[in-house]
Structure 1
Amino acid sequence: MCTTCGCGEGERRIEGDEPAHSHHHPHTHDHHHEHSHSHDPVHSHPHHHDHHHGHDHEHDETSAAPGVIIHHHHYYYHHGDVHHHYHGAARPSAVRHTHEHHAHTHGSHDHHDNEPHDHHHHDHVHHSHAHHDHDHDHDHDHDHHARSHEHRQQEERFQPMEQENHLHYGQGAAGTHAPGVGQQRLLQIEMDVLSKNNQLAAHNREHFDAAHILALNLVSSPGSGKTTLLTNTLHLLRERVPCAVIEGDQQTTNDADRIRATGVPAIQVNTGKGCHLDAQMVHDAMHRLQLPNQSLLFIENVGNLVCPAGFDLGERHKIAVLSVTEGEDKPLKYPHMFAAASLMIINKIDLLPYLDFDLEACVANARRVNPQIEVMALSARTGEGMEVWLAWLEAQLLGAQAPLQPSLLSGA
């Protein structure tokens, strides 16, 4: 999952973030640099450095000219840290950013300056390690270094399970694989990340419960029809119950714009390289929405059938949306998502006459991984089956379970 591969690193932005602030961001970079030392005999070995440093940001806000949103990415290479700065969309007020950049050099430093910058650069060499070639002789043997490194790599090397001609990398203790990282270390990383997220999710849930807010987390692969389902649902519900939407995507505000066109408040969360929403993002977004009591909050997660399954946002239910164009075997291919969901919505049933999709097999597959999952089939485009969805929502708002109509499941 993404707690181990690092895809959650990088910039993220919540629509409406206030730019005027002055703060200090301490953080730690723990990474490896390979340094080649020429000896007689010749050997090379990695050096490990922990860099503790902070970025001081001073922001002066004016109202005369448009500002910019600056996202920070930190990439680490052999000869120092290369800082890439991406300048995004205009903001309503001008913001001047003064950044203190720390360059870490090991013999040489590579700083990419070929992109436009609106701020000053101050290069501070605070970790300078002079690594030079040694031509003098050593009487001792360095073979023990190679043996030690080789032994450690053998210990960490994970062997996938072989099934006929298939390799399965998910059968280890961690259920996943990352090159050069042992299974116990992967487990520890995952537990650390999820523990922090779960604490925030519990806080969100307490807030939702105290305010009698029904929070629903919609998850699916890209293109399943989540946003169309939401816009049509909001047209039918907006006069009956206060609604709001948190939209999650890596980039753009396209989906939030579609939601706001219905007259319902929405806030866009851009996750950058992140492949899912987390509890902190939802916490920040919901407070910007200022939800009234007894309201309905839809959280449309990033299109992804893997990572969102493991991240609790504080919602009452995960709802997995599956379109008939995706195939009836999706619950078996991505079991963690459907095991975590309370409800599966099979969408786009208006396309069934043109496809080989087996509706009953899809329901059976979902219940193989989650016997308790509820299922309904509908078409957000034509409206067929929407009354069952609305009845389910109404029952959830009242704190009851909505009975499903088997006739809409073609006998399932």
Structure 2
Amino acid sequence: MCTECGCGLSGEPAQGGRQSMVHGPEHPHVHSSEAGTGPGSHSQVVPVQRALLEKNQRLAERNRGFFRAKNLLVLNIMSAPGSGKTTFIEATAQALAGRARLGVIVGDLATDNDAARLRAAGIPAIQVSTGTVCHLDAAMVSRAAQQLDLDSLDLLCIENVGNLVCPADFDLGEDLRVVLMSVTEGEDKPLKYPPLFHSAHVAVLTKCDLAAAAGFNRDLALANLRRISHHARIFEVSARTGDGMAAWAEYLLRVRQAPKPDD
């Protein structure tokens, strides 16, 4: 959340050397560097954070109901920057070609590079530029979804902002939380960022074609994933070579056909 990583914070030093930092419209509270005083004191910020998360949860449930009415399987794809989310989504679309239609909402602090890349590959994609906010939230997803022809899709992939902290707290209305971990990141990411990995329904080891070159310890990585993401389904893939993508695509098709809890 924003008090832990500073997402959305901006501002100049105020009078007396205090740093007042005001969030954008999605984060309507003020922080002060003088602990326990002023409008940014911890006692006042915490209730606002709670209200923010509760509001997001209500919007997420509304998103979920809307997406299910459209018969969409929705994935919230999360990872550190550089884990290969966009390439993985491209490869997923290729693996599902002719069997399921995929659209994407892409979150980044700036640029529309990833969305443009996906559109160039023939994948409908909408870019959400979050500015200094380091995660997507349910309201952002709702607005972006209105710009896609959801009736023409079977799957909606939400490519979250590259971050292993804040996205764990924000439900977007997804059916599946998918966390990616590339072999080039080492084996201990689940131990360092347990909330996000613990919340995942699926964990995907990416860039497996680079495992030998990176000196990746597969057994240790899998043990760490199973320790933290003990309820998650684990896939090992290389989007570049296609290894593992067929099994991932078959899994998505099975999940999409399975009855939802409210069905």
TM-score range, shorter chain: 0.7 to 0.9
Counterpart amino acid of residue 205 in structure 2 = I
The 3 A distance-change label for structure 1 pair 4 and 229 is closer
Counterpart amino acid of residue 206 in structure 1 = G
Counterpart amino acid of residue 371 in structure 1 = H
Q: Secondary structure at the match of 1:337?
A: helix
Equivalent of residue 216 in structure 1, options 67, 70, 75:
75
Give the Å deviation of 1:214.
0.5
Is 1:381 aligned with 2:240? yes
Give the aligned partner of residue 209 of structure 2.
350
Give the aligned partner of residue 270 of structure 1.
129
Unpaired segments ≥5 residues, structure 1: 11-31, 37-45, 47-75, 77-151, 158-179, 402-412
The 3 A distance-change label for structure 1 pair 213 and 196 is same
Give the Å deviation of 1:210.
1.2
Equivalent of residue 257 in structure 1, options 113, 116, 122:
116
Q: Secondary structure at the match of 2:151?
A: coil
Matches within 5 A, 1:216-235: 216-235=75-94
Matches within 5 A, 1:17-36: 34=15
Give the aligned partner of residue 177 of structure 2.
318
The 3 A distance-change label for structure 1 pair 326 and 6 is closer
Instruction: Assess if the C-alpha contact under 8 Å between 2:188 and 2:224 holds in 1.
Output: yes
Q: Which has the larger radius of gyration?
A: 1
The 3 A distance-change label for structure 1 pair 294 and 397 is farther
In structure 2, distance between residues paired with 1:3 and 1:215: 28
Aligned-CA RMSD value: 2.7
In structure 2, distance between residues paired with 1:221 and 1:253: 18
Give the aligned partner of residue 2 of structure 2.
2
Instruction: Assess if the C-alpha contact under 8 Å between 1:265 and 1:289 holds in 2.
Output: yes
Give the aligned partner of residue 190 of structure 1.
49
- Deviations for 1:45-75, whole angstroms, at most 9, x for unmatched residues? x9xxxxxxxxxxxxxxxxxxxxxxxxxxxxx
In structure 2, distance between residues paired with 1:9 and 1:239: 44
Counterpart amino acid of residue 291 in structure 1 = L
The 3 A distance-change label for structure 1 pair 3 and 212 is farther
Counterpart amino acid of residue 197 in structure 1 = N
Instruction: Assess if the C-alpha contact under 8 Å between 1:235 and 1:262 holds in 2.
Output: no
The 3 A distance-change label for structure 1 pair 4 and 263 is same
Task: Select the structure that is richer in helix.
Answer: 2
Matches within 5 A, 1:114-125: none
In structure 2, distance between residues paired with 1:279 and 1:8: 16
Instruction: Assess if the C-alpha contact under 8 Å between 2:95 and 2:245 holds in 1.
Output: no
The 3 A distance-change label for structure 1 pair 3 and 377 is same
Is 1:307 aligned with 2:160? no
Task: Select the structure that is richer in strand.
Answer: 1
Give the Å deviation of 1:347.
0.6
In structure 1, distance between residues paired with 2:16 and 2:190: 47
- Deviations for 1:104-156, whole angstroms, at most 9, x for unmatched residues? xxxxxxxxxxxxxxxxxxxxxxxxxxxxxxxxxxxxxxxxxxxxxxxx96xx4
Q: Secondary structure at the match of 1:388?
A: helix
Give the Å deviation of 1:386.
1.0
In structure 1, distance between residues paired with 2:3 and 2:16: 28
Give the Å deviation of 1:380.
0.6
- Deviations for 1:55-104, whole angstroms, at most 9, x for unmatched residues? xxxxxxxxxxxxxxxxxxxxx9xxxxxxxxxxxxxxxxxxxxxxxxxxxx
- Deviations for 1:252-303, whole angstroms, at most 9, x for unmatched residues? 1110011111212110000000101110110001111020166100010111
Q: Secondary structure at the match of 1:394?
A: helix
Give the structure, 1 or 2, with the largest relative contact order (CA under 8 Å, sep 6 or more).
Answer: 2
Is 1:329 aligned with 2:210? no
Counterpart amino acid of residue 192 in structure 1 = A
Give the aligned partner of residue 201 of structure 1.
60
Instruction: Assess if the C-alpha contact under 8 Å between 1:4 and 1:186 holds in 2.
Output: no
Instruction: Assess if the C-alpha contact under 8 Å between 1:219 and 1:319 holds in 2.
Output: yes
In structure 1, distance between residues paired with 2:41 and 2:216: 40
Give the Å deviation of 1:360.
1.7
Instruction: Assess if the C-alpha contact under 8 Å between 1:231 and 1:259 holds in 2.
Output: yes
In structure 2, distance between residues paired with 1:258 and 1:196: 33
Counterpart amino acid of residue 346 in structure 1 = L
The 3 A distance-change label for structure 1 pair 35 and 393 is closer
